[in-house]
Structure 1
Amino acid sequence: MTDPAHLHQQLLDRLTADGVLRTKPWKSAAGSVPRHEFLRGGFFRYVAGTSPSAWSPVLDTDTGWLEACYRDESLVTQIAGTVLPADIRGQIMREPTSSSTLPSLVLRMLEELHVEPGSKVLEIGTGTGYSTALLCARLGEELVTSIEYDEAVASRARAALARQDMFPTSVTGDGLLGHAASAPYDRIIATCGVRTVPAAWIEQVRPGGLILATIGGWLDSSELARLTVHDDGSASGPLLGGQVSFMLARPHLPPHLGLLPDLNDGKERQAVFGSDILADWTTRFVVQLAAPHAQRLTIERAGRTEDVLIDVASGSWAALCEDAGRWIVRQDGPEVLWDTVEEQLGRWHTAGAPALEEFTVTVTPDGQTIHW
């Protein structure tokens, strides 16, 4: 049998060499928490070449399970809100709903949290409990509160933590509401994505404290942000870059589109930017700022491929296709959706197309803004 301690040390050495593990306290914490103990229930492996994606279970008795636990990759641990690896044989074609995040990202985020001895931390999204255990090892369980939306996921995490003799405050509930009973906190760290930073998080962090969260949207581009809470109840700070992605918090998931609009309606013109720009992560993030309620779908219609953006708030839509080397947009609704997108992209390009690390997030009682 492969030695888990050897695999663990290999992972730590790789993360140190890559500059992910930078400080001695986090190196010590990471060395004391075996990841495989938080994956005893197994995980799902993506079945290569499947569309829609298919997943097959890997149990802790299967060959290769232990080695996979110590690879720097995310491992899906729940499908469709309830299905666990032990529940099925064969394959399942449903959406993942919980996972163990790749260790390099977990530890990068913990380093970016800038904790100090005595820091009181609220973790949003317990998941398997691996990151919770790292926080306990670094700060002490009495300073760690972790909240998980899914009761079954929370129960498994508590059991895994208990096997490591760790007993932080564990709460089941809506992480977007925080946990006021243990507030104020010095730090909040979220292991789920959000579209906007909840007001409750800012209210529950002392002035000068930090919130580390991944902010994204329905066009599947997101970035890690580190916000400092101010005396006036606002919070602001930079995006940190790196194309960080988490599953969106369930209340922030997009609604079902329902019946599509008649795409033959609307006005047509030549587009300044085609939908090919949406292949770029940073550009997609900028587009999200212009159209925060838009969802994207690709359809085959009349013998050609069309990219369609539909704003679920206003009902406005834009359909783009390539024709004889140029892009054509057809749009309709109360807002001229692609015009708004092109105006935003034009401003961004005029500014020199700054990287996402040059963007600042500001959250006030009036809402959230992101600007470069």
Structure 2
Amino acid sequence: MNPSFRTSQHPTWHRVRKIRGTSDKVLEIGTGTGYSTSLMCQRLGQEAITSIEYDQEVAVRARKAIAEAGYAPTLVVGDGLLDYDENAEYDQLIATCSVRTIPPSWMWQVRVGGTITTPMWGWMGGVAFAHLTLTEDGTASGRFLKDALYFMTARSHLPPSRPPMVSDIGEARPSRIDPSILSDETALWVAQLAVPRAQHSWREDTTFLVDVSTGSRANTRPDPAGGWTVYQHGPIKLWDEVEEAILTWQGAGCPHQSGFGLTVTRREQRVWLGGPGGPSWNLPA
């Protein structure tokens, strides 16, 4: 084995260590450099590993690097968000790209009792690391992990182009929260749950949100008299939704993402706080 693959410091190694047993079949979404692919080959055996890479040039380089490390797993050039059933059912699906929602095809390719482990990233830049187990009724559920781990986002999950941010349009009122709270990683992720189609930016002391699909906008800035003023325009009151989510999270003690979980069914993908019966938000279809 190439010595460069022996280190336990690389973040992907912590995912590899979660795999139980040497007979597990793993589908990796995103071969990348081939580093984590080689780690899994060394741990589980090359016959157990199938890895899919979207970019053909990246796949060629990865194949060469993996071969130089002494391994020959199943390597595929294609879209890992779609079906690849050749070696299914898989015991583990591990994504080395970030996704906005769980692709339905992943649910079909993992056996009952198998797991899906993936970083999740949204259009406001909030991230969480999901670890789900597939159940007999075809659903998957689990908690987000404590690891602060994410990768390049799958191309089809990237946001649309964002229009210029415009200030002070629409109805004005006092804000119930300090917009600077969105500089906290977990708070940003919670806000994103409330308005998953919105994009977020700052300009000097003003916080902007815009939902391209509906034309809804909001901006929040300090009020000279104290506090903050929010302006909202469009069919969705974006800041109203953000406030409610942040206040709910604060009321629960401001837990990390690992205090939340995700349940995926054929009809919806629902993030819940505390337990499946707690406050929840649906991810976009």
Aligned with 2:132: secondary structure? strand
Q: C-alpha distance in 2, partners of 1:185/1:158?
A: 21
**Which residue of the partner structure matches residue 145 of structure 1?**
50
| Residue 33 to residue 223, structure 1, CA distance change in 2 (3 Å) | farther
1:289 — aligned with what?
193
- TM-score w.r.t. structure 1 length? 0.70
User: In the aligned structure 2, how far is the partner of 1:366 from the partner of 1:175?
Assistant: 22
Deviations 1:314-337 (A, max 9, x none): 221111111334211101000111
Query: Is 1:232–2:201 an aligned residue pair?
Result: no
| Displacement after TM superposition at 1:178 (Å) | 4.2
Distance 1:220 1:105 in 2: 20
Residue from 343, 347, 367 that aligns with 2:248: 347
Match of 2:276 in 1: none
SS of the counterpart of 2:101? coil
Q: Find the aligned partners of 1:272 and 1:279 in 2 and give their Cα distance.
A: 16
Is the Cα–Cα contact under 8 Å of residues 228 and 236 in structure 1 kept in the other structure?
yes
Q: Deviations over 1:340-359 (max 9, x none)?
A: 11111122222222232121
- Alignment of 1:327 with 2:232, yes or no, is no
Match of 2:79 among 174, 177, 185: 174
Q: Name the structure 1 match of 2:14.
A: 108
Moved over 6 A (4+): none
Q: 1:119 offset after TM fit, Å?
A: 0.4
Secondary structure at the counterpart of residue 236 of structure 2: coil
Q: Give the CA deviation at 1:238.
A: 0.7
1:272 to 147, 171, 176: 176
Shift of 1:262: 5.1
Residues 121 and 145 of structure 1 are in contact (CA less than 8 Å); yes or no, is this contact kept in structure 2? yes
Kindly provide the CA deviation profile for residues 228-264 of structure 1, in whole angstroms up to 9, marking residues without a partner as x: 0011111000111232222211111111113x37534
Matched, 1:357 2:258: yes
Aligned residue for 1:127, secondary structure, equals: coil
**TM-score when normalising by structure 2:** 0.90
Map of 1:20-39 to 2, 5 A cutoff?
Answer: 32-35=1-4
**Greater relative contact order structure (CA < 8 Å, 6+ sep):** 2
- Which residues in structure 2 correspond to 1:245-264 (within 5 Å)? 245-258=150-163, 260=164, 263-264=167-168
1:236 and 1:362 in contact (8 A); partners too = yes
Deviation of 1:365 after TM superposition, in Å, equals 0.3
Give the aligned residue type for 1:267. E
Higher alpha-carbon Rg: 1
User: Does 2:208 match 1:308?
Assistant: yes
Matches within 5 A, 1:59-208: 103-112=9-18, 114-208=19-113
CA distance in 2, matches of 1:242, 1:139: 23
Q: Tell me if structure 2 keeps the 8 A contact 1:360–1:371.
A: yes
Which residue number corresponds to residue 46 of structure 1?
Answer: none
SS of residue in 1 equivalent to 2:70: coil
Partner SS state of residue 360, structure 1: strand
Amino acid at match of 2:103: P
CA gap of 1:223–1:121, structure 2 versus 1, over 3 A, is: same
Q: Write the distance in 2 (CA, Å) between the matches of 1:141 and 1:148.
A: 17
Which structure's residues are more often helix, by fraction? 1
Kept after mapping to 1: 8 A contact 2:5/2:38: no
CA-to-partner distance for each residue in 1:281-334, whole Å, 9 max, x for gaps? 11111101001111112235xxxx322111122221111111334211101000
Counterparts of 1:275 and 1:330, CA distance in 2: 13
Spell out, residue by residue over 1:212-239, the C-alpha distance to the aligned partner (whole angstroms, 9 max, x if none): 1111212222121110001111100011
8 Å CA contact retained: 1:33, 1:133: no
Contact 1:221 1:245 in 2 (8 A): no
1: CA distance, partners of 2:165 / 2:70: 56
Which secondary structure does the structure 1 equivalent of 2:152 belong to?
coil
Paired residue secondary structure (1:117): coil
Cα deviations across residues 97-140 of structure 1 (Å, max 9, x unaligned)?
xxxxxx4311111123x331110000000000010001111111
Alignment check: 8 A CA contact 1:33 1:134 kept: no
